[in-house]
Structure 1
Amino acid sequence: MNLLESQIKIMPLGGVRENGKNMYAVEVDDEIFILDCGLMYPENELLGIDVVIPDFTYLIENADRIAGIFLTHGHADAIGALPYFLSQKQVPVYGSELTIALAKLNVNGYAGSRKFKNFHTVTKNSRLKFKHAQVSFFKTTHSIPDSLGISIKTSAGQIVYTGDFKFDQAADPTYQTDFARLAQIGQQGVLALISDSANAESPYEMASERDISAYILDTFKYHEGRIIVASVASNIARIQQVIDAAYESKRRVVLTGRDLEKIVRTAMRLNRLTLPDPDIIVPVKQLKTLAPEETVILETGRMGEPIKALQRMATSRHRLVKIKAGDLVFITTTPSHAMETTVAKTRDMIYRAGGEVKAIGDDIHASGHANKTDLQLMLNLTRPKYVIPVQGEYRLLAAHADIAHETGIPYENIFITSKGDVLRYEDQQMRLANQIEVGNTMIDGIGVGDIGNIVLRDRKILSEDGIFIAVVTINRKKRTIVSKPQITTRGFVYVKTSRDLMNESAEIVTQKVQANLDNKEFDWSHLKQDIREGLSGFLFEQTKRRPVILPVIMEVNQNRHHRN
């Protein structure tokens, strides 16, 4: 370690002013330490997008300086973007046993990263020495076992990243926080705390996992029909509670979805998930032979998100399960604010199908993230000079800033950042320096980053105002229109009742095409632009809508068609 004080930069590449997509780069002199590499499930305005990952441009450009990627836990918001990063640059990946096992599932499931093998398992006792820093870990409590916080020890002090955490004094030993280690980190001097803010607005005391277990068991015991449990696939704590409650209430568990089965098998192999009876989980094919009062269906949906799967069940589009009278749908995940409307619609669909709905959040305050009291305890244990709230929308980061201020940290030492902000520590002062350009990378099907704002804007227009296609055939040599314009439209107006609109539109196309043919300096792009502008103005005037206008020009030339 240098005697001179290190030059330090902290850069959020995701995870700030949004839910999920955690990724933070810490530079110590010429080494880069990447903390988490997560994805985010899209919200409603991202039409058709499967997932969103961070923009890796800065890291790829500086890949030779990366010491490694350090993972806090095995949820998608911490490990989901790994396959996409590792398919571009291969750098060492460090994490706990279960986190690495789940990361391998992700990485091996993606063609571009399948050959990657540079994984390293760490424990709460691991100390990793690098050129300018030492990386160590501490046990935290979250809804998945083997969660770790990360400390990067530099000559200027420690940079501590909590990852997703909460405090639960009655936690099972597998999930317990190492309070002594946290106090020790605080005594050694923490320069900056990068801390989870996802539940910062909650003033309520969180229910302990023991209380939640009892609540799930009560639900199972007092319902006589089938129970369909909706959970996030990687919430191992919740899955353990569901399996235990099924055993106590003499039920069997059917797993639906490949994601869930892989995660459950992995957790069982590492003894992070235990079965009270080896026959408690039964194959899907036995679902029809189980009596309703013996059945628990555990549903997580594609990519581990269960709400869309429940909608398919309620509308008879699910491949295995159809909700019917007597079914209880038990939602054991707490949806984000952005999903509240979707959840309300889903509840309505379930009731229409004859089922009942019970959500854990209706009766109990359950979360895998720290509330106000927990956040203040973390601050008092670590005693940082600077605080960087992360993992949450702006209002959550701001709430966390107020919470930190209440513990005595001045507001000028609390940084609410945006993606791409660079916090630089030099001359014993942390300040907001320059910014690097960081966007979002959208993933749609097999396309990575090939969809940007222009495509999304077009999708939005298509979804709202439809498409208007005008096809016309011309003979450029003779400067004539060979066949009059054919108008086709989808999602704009009902053609049969809009004959006049179609005829007038065809007339406008004819005028614009003929005017361009008569012009000595004929230009294809100018012709198309003329048609778009003429139709756009006319259609908006008539309908107050702006569809996507697509002119298709066919050219006749010596018995051959040229299409433009």
Structure 2
Amino acid sequence: MPLGGVRENGKNMYVVEVDDEIYILDCGLMYPENELLGIDIVIPDFTYLEENIDRVVGVFLTHGHADAIGALPYFVSKFDVPVFGSELTIALAKLSVNGYTASKKFKDFHVINKDTEIDFNHATVSFFKTTHSIPDSLGIVLKTDAGQIVYTGDFKFDQSATPEYQTDFARLAEIGQKGVLALISDSANAESPYTMASERAIAAYILDTFKYHEGRIIVASVASNIARVQQVIDAAYRSGRKVVLTGRDLEKIVRTAMRLNRLTLPSEDILVATKDLKTLAPEETVILETGKMGEPIKALQRMATSRHRLISIKEGDLVFITTTPSHAMETTVAKTKDMIYRAGGEVKAVGDDIHASGHGNKNDLQLMINLTKPQYFIPVQGEYRLLAAHADIAHETGISYENIFITGKGDVLEYQNKRMRMANQVEVGNTMIDGIGVGDIGNIVLRDRKVLSEDGIFIAVVTINRKKRMIVSRPKITTRGFVYVKASRDLMHESADIVTKTVQNNLDNKEFDWGHLKQDIREGLSGYLFEQTKRRPVILPVIMEVNQNRRHS
């Protein structure tokens, strides 16, 4: 049962139930799309797990990116469940958990590796090494009486990967030989027809860029893409440059990876503090920028408009974008490039010249299927079109469409009587995080924010004396983001007349009701304002009552 990660980008969380035991695979977050106004992050809905928490045996993590570990602080602040992951994954998970006040006390972490096997009552959990853009990435195997359930996590195949990033092909073949009931596989790059460049080729490309640019280089990357950070540091060293890290997120991740020897420095003085930036000549400088929560694009915009706390882009700067943005970010990236050129800099992006991704393309996905030989196939992690493309890819390897399941959040796949089928559905929503609020923003609030952002707010304040059934003072109209008041005096005057008439009608009615009064004002104003402006602002009636010290809004 997926609680996230299907028909969307990120928020991976998959529940596997074996008899009376629940195994949770990943616990990730998703960065919001544009329509989620003001929302910081989105996490899975834990309601089903809350109702069945006594059956949960553990959370098993595949790697240390936010789409796999980002929701963990919110989960462990509510539930005391053991968390399993590789050394670097657990170190990054601890950073995330300790950074959230409500989850700081949680300590039930368990470091595992590719050779670990954990026996539970109804399943044995084991792991296998995969290649991704962060070291210590693992796939997960649940061995049950009915067969093995294999979850790939994020993966690609790179035949020239360095030892800490290499896939264990022998182990994958061994898993396939033992019989795989179902393969739950990463679909994030299923549409790409291109052969992905090896990490060695990307490293060479970064080095060439550093060698042939004479000015300052600002590198935009995702904080947790350790492979890319390593390549940038190595290229800076070989081209005679120093690296300045900006942002606490990046520094914490880099220091953690260095402590665990997952990231190595070619020289002790390669990293320079931001306060020493002025002492470096432009041709000696590489600034590594990841931005808040690992998102570098907004940080680049601040640099281009001189609003960044440390750096302003100037003539001669090269902004080198080494992360491949999602489709949802393409417009933002194009605007950002324009802002950089206006500021006098130039832009180069890895994705313009080379096909780079931490996720497997069609050939990789088919190789994973052929190695594991699953009976049933479940594409996950990606929007619907990616899941559908992955289903077609799987069908080409010989898996029948009736054995391929494209799921939605809350869909339950059930294996019974030697057959897997789509069973009932559990209601699963999104939990939105805004500031310190967890799940207190719902669709109604978002709808109001959308209306406020598009048509503004219209406030009518009126004071009444209910005993004397009269209006004490003429309604006062205030508006923000709707119309320019000075140019719309007639509209305001007519609106005040509508409020006066509506309030007096209600006062004259023997069965006076506050709810009816406010609703009548909203309806009267809404119809008039739409007729005059073709806009629908948020209408807020504020009614005050004299002598009784009461106010209704």
**One of 350, 358, 369 as aligned partner of 1:360:** 350
The size of the alignment, in residue pairs, is: 553
1:212 is the counterpart of 2:212: no
Partner deviation per Cα, 1:89-111 (whole Å, 9 max, x = no partner): 11000000000000000001111
The whole-number CA distance in structure 2 between the counterparts of 1:288 and 1:555 is: 64
Matched, 1:93 2:61: no
State yes or no: 1:345 paired with 2:335.
Answer: yes
5 Å matches for 1:259-338? 259-338=249-328
Q: Distance in 1 between matches of 2:498 and 2:181?
A: 68
Deviation at 1:51, TM superposition (A): 0.2
SS at structure 1 position matched to 2:136? coil
1:403-448 CA-to-partner distances (Å, cap 9, x unmatched) read 0000000000000000000000000000000000000000000000
* Separation in structure 2 between the aligned mates of residue 164 and residue 553 of structure 1, nearest angstrom: 56
Deviations 1:140-193 (A, max 9, x none): 000000000000000000000000000000001010000000000000000000
CA RMSD of aligned residues (A): 0.7
Match of 2:393 in 1: 403
Give the deviation of 1:289 after TM superposition. 1.5
> CA offset at residue 50 of structure 1?
0.3
Among 153, 173, 193, the residue aligned to 2:143: 153
In the TM superposition, what whole-angstrom CA distance separates every residue of 1:37-74 from its partner, at most 9, and x where no partner exists? 00000011111100000000000110000010000000
1:534 aligns with 2:524: yes
Helix, strand or coil: the match of 2:245? strand
Deviation of the 1:563 alpha carbon: 4.3
- Residue 523 (structure 1) aligns with: 513
Stretches of structure 2 that go unaligned for 5 or more consecutive residues are: none
The aligned residue for residue 12 of structure 1 is: 2
2:118 corresponds to which residue?
128
- Per-residue displacement from partner, 1:455-503 (whole Å, max 9, x unpaired)? 1111111111111011111111111111111111111100010000000
Q: Distance in 1 between matches of 2:65 and 2:339?
A: 29
In the alignment, is residue 81 of structure 1 matched against residue 71 of structure 2? yes
Distance between the aligned counterparts of 2:334 and 2:462, measured in 1? Answer: 47
1:464 maps to 2:478: no
The residue aligned with 1:224 is: 214
Residue in 2 that maps onto 1:428? 418
1:380 aligns with 2:370: yes
Look up the SS of the partner of 2:30 in the other structure: coil
The correspondence of residues 161-200 of structure 1 with structure 2, limited to 5 A, is 161-200=151-190
**Distance in structure 1 (CA, Å) of the matches to 2:422 and 2:455:** 43
Show structure 1 runs of 4+ deviating over 2 A.
560-564
Distance, in Å, in 2 between the alignment partners of 1:71 and 1:562 is: 53
Q: What's the CA shift for 1:562?
A: 3.3
Query: Is 1:562 aligned with 2:551?
Result: yes
Describe the SS at the equivalent of 1:441: strand
What corresponds to 1:489 in structure 2? 479
- Corresponding residue for residue 26 of structure 1: 16
Amino acid at match of 2:243: V
Opposite residue 275 of structure 2, the aligned amino acid is K
What is the deviation of 1:317? 1.0
1:143 aligns with 2:126: no
Deviation at 1:561, TM superposition (A): 5.3
Aligned amino acid, residue 353 of structure 2:
D
Q: Deviations over 1:251-309 (max 9, x none)?
A: 11111110000000000000000000111011110111211111111000110111111
Counterparts of 1:311 and 1:475, CA distance in 2: 54
CA distance in 1, matches of 2:25, 2:517: 52
Name the residue aligned to 1:440. Answer: 430
Determine which of 380, 383, 387 is the counterpart of 1:393.
383
Q: CA separation in 1, counterparts of 2:38 and 2:280?
A: 37
Q: Hey, what does 1:234 align to over in structure 2?
A: 224
- Secondary structure class of the residue paired with 2:546: strand
User: 2: CA distance between counterparts of 1:415 and 1:38?
Assistant: 22
Once the two structures are superposed, what CA deviation does each residue of 1:346-375 show, in whole Å capped at 9, x if it has no partner?
111111111101110000000000000000
Matched with 1:5 is: none
List gaps (5 residues or longer) in structure 1.
Answer: 1-10
Q: Which residue in 2 is equivalent to 1:4?
A: none
Map 1:494-513 onto structure 2 (within 5 A). Answer: 494-513=484-503
Secondary structure of residue in 2 paired with 1:557: coil
Alignment match, 1:6 = none
Between 1:428-437 and 1:311-320, the stretch displaced more is: 311-320
- Give aligned-pair identity as a percent: 84
| TM-score using structure 1 length | 0.98
Is 1:44 the counterpart of 2:30? The answer is no
The one-character-per-residue Cα deviations of 1:531-550 (angstroms, maximum 9, x if unpaired) are 00000000000000000000
Residue 243 of structure 2 is matched in structure 1 by: 253
2:105 maps to 115
Partner of 1:63: 53
User: SS state of the match for residue 430, structure 1?
Assistant: strand
State how far apart, in whole Å, the 2-side matches of 1:443 and 1:528 are.
31
Query: Matched residues in 1 for 2:521 and 2:552: separation?
Result: 16
Q: 1:104 matched to which residue of 2?
A: 94
